[in-house]
């Protein structure tokens, strides 16, 4: 939880692999490969939901096995990690440009949680001279809304801060909802911070458009094969203090960190490759994340043979 946001998590993972490769003190190839694979697995296991994390790790690790020698193996990891970090930053900048075009002068925008990609669209529109006003939710239990309102305040965007349960009370003041994504499935469902599906449902009922800002590496290739996104459930102590919980022995706190918003509640997903209807998620997976599918097919064939 020290690193917030699925994009930042992905870049941090790429940086960690790069630094691990740089600082590796051994000289033989086998130990290096083993150390890198171990680090990759460990990184992937830190957060189960944000698919940007395994996507980034795979992108950095791809080609390691084909490197002719130790020096090339190390150099390849460093090069691919730097390339991923740069392309991730470029992706957010491009999303800001594309997303800002869908924001009109005078729009009142609701955002939930703290998404670099979503905020980049809003701040991009503001910087281009459009008048925008934002409603930002608090985001219980970890209050990521505080990070959001600081960013908006620093950018000079007029912002209203509301508790999560006030969304429906204000929905008729809202022109557009913009949120980020931790994962996008092949059928266009968006996994994002808990409460996003309630926000989107409320928006749909009120006929307010919902835009999701998501880099292509947030799309989950393995959902094509029916793999489900794991929803991280975090400790109850984030919701109730241990002292209060101890006094309530019949009460169990449930604390899922994310939820799933179905495609029918989403009007558009803005990626760095362009804006798409959620139903076109498959095309993004096919065209930009094909490597993982090939890898998955390999595993599938092997499993079938045994
Ligand atoms: P960016 C965050 O979750 C929020 O759910 C946010 O909407 C999403 O990641 C995408 O954020 P967490 O990973 O990548 O911080 O757009 O738990 O910053």
> Which tens digit of pLDDT belongs to each residue from 103-145?
999 999 999 999 999 999 999 999 999 999 999 999 999 999 9
Of 62-66, 78-82, 110-114, 135-139, least confident by mean pLDDT is 62-66
pLDDT given for residue 27 in this prediction: 80
Asked if residue 287 has pLDDT above 50, the reply is yes
pLDDT band (50, 70, 90) for residue 4 = confident
Query: What is the side-by-side order of every strand in the sheet holding 183-184?
Result: 183-184, 190-193, 258-261
pLDDT value of position 1: 75
pLDDT at 293: 56
Q: What is the Cα–Cα distance from 117 to 99, expressed in whole angstroms?
A: 9
90 tagged catalytic: no
Judge whether residue 21 has pLDDT over 70: yes
Pocket test for ligand 1, best of 111, 113, 200, 211 (most atoms within 8 A of CB): 113
CA distance 21 to 39: 10
pLDDT at 204: 98
State residue 294's pLDDT score.
Answer: 59
pLDDT of 165 strictly over 90: yes
291 pLDDT tier (thresholds 50, 70, 90): low
Ligand 1 pocket: which of 115, 142, 220 to mutate (most atoms within 8 A of CB)? 115
| Protein residue with least CA distance to atom 12, ligand 1 | 5
How much is the average pLDDT of 193-198?
98
Cα-based angle 39, 41, 47 (whole degrees, multiple of 5): 110
Tell me the average pLDDT across 135-163: 98
**According to the model, what pLDDT value does residue 102 have?**
98
Residue 305 has pLDDT above 60, yes or no: no
- 42, two tokens: 């460990």
What pLDDT score does 140 carry?
97
Q: Comparing 47-56, 86-95, 191-200, 263-272, which segment has the lowest mean pLDDT?
A: 47-56
| pLDDT for res 26 | 85
Whether the predicted pLDDT of 174 surpasses 60: yes
Residue 231 has pLDDT above 90, yes or no: yes
Cβ < 6 A, ligand 1 pocket: 4-9, 50, 113, 115-118, 179-182, 192-193, 257
């Amino acid at each position: 939880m020290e690193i917030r946001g699925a994009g930042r998590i992905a870049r941090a993972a790429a940086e960690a692999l790069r630094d691990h490769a740089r600082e590796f003190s051994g000289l033989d190839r086998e130990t290096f490969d083993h150390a890198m694979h171990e680090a990759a697995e460990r990184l992937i296991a830190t957060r189960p939901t944000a698919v940007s994390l395994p996507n980034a790790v795979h992108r950095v690790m791809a080609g390691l096995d084909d490197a002719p020698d130790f020096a090339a193996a190390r150099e390849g990891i460093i090069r691919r990690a730097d390339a991923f970090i740069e392309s991730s930053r470029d992706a957010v900048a491009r999303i800001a440009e594309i997303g800002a075009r869908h924001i009109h002068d005078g729009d009142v925008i609701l955002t939930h949680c703290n998404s670099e990609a979503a905020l980049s669209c809003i701040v991009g529109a503001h910087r281009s001279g459009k008048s925008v006003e934002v409603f930002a939710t608090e985001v219980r239990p970890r209050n990521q809304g505080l990070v959001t309102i600081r960013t908006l305040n620093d950018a000079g965007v007029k912002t209203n801060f509301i508790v999560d349960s006030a969304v429906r009370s204000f929905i008729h003041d809202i022109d557009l909802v913009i949120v980020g994504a931790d994962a996008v499935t092949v059928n266009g469902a968006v996994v994002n911070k808990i409460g996003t599906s309630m926000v989107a449902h409320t928006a749909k009922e009120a006929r307010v458009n919902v835009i999701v800002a998501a880099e292509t590496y947030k799309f989950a290739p393995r959902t094509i094969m029916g793999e489900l996104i794991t929803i991280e459930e975090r400790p109850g102590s984030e919701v109730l203090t241990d002292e209060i919980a101890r006094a309530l022995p019949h009460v169990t706190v449930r604390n899922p960190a994310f939820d799933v918003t179905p495609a029918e509640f989403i009007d558009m997903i803005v990626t760095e490759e362009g804006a798409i209807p959620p139903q076109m998620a498959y095309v993004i997976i096919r065209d930009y994340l094909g490597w993982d599918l090939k890898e998955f097919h390999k595993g599938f064939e092997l499993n079938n043979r045994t």
